[in-house]
Amino acid sequence: MIAAFRQPRAGGHSVRRWLRTGGHASDRNTDQTVKIKLDENLPDRLVSVLTGLAHDVDTVRGEQLTGRTDPAVWSAAPSVS
């Protein structure tokens, strides 16, 4: 589960294209930072990729929520207003 999801723009996946061109977090618009909770079924290497894109990333493993139900994981995620 990724707590936040944004549809890619038409014409290709913009993040993948940005990574291929050697983009850096400092190149990103910080207004687009997203808080993400990475589920246990996703690889840990995504933490560094997403953090490198200036996102705030927590993991189910890191918060000792492994094996919990989706509603339990959702309730552990703080709401942001």
Condensed to tens digits (0 to 9), the pLDDT of residues 48-81 reads 999 999 999 999 999 999 999 999 998 888 776 5
Domain assignment of residue 9, yes or no: no
Q: How many CB atoms lie within 10 A of CB 7?
A: 5
Domain assignment of residue 35, yes or no: yes
Q: How confident is the prediction for the chain on average, in pLDDT? A: 75
Domain assignment of residue 19, yes or no: yes
Q: Each residue of 19-34: pLDDT tens digit?
A: 555 555 555 555 678 8
Domain assignment of residue 72, yes or no: yes
The overall pTM is greater than 0.75: no
Residue 47 is part of which domain span? 14-24+31-76
Can you give the pLDDT at residue 13?
53
CA dist 8 → 42, 47, 76, 79 (Å): 19, 19, 27, 24
Domain assignment of residue 44, yes or no: yes
Domain assignment of residue 3, yes or no: no
User: Total domain count for the chain?
Assistant: 1
Domain assignment of residue 6, yes or no: no
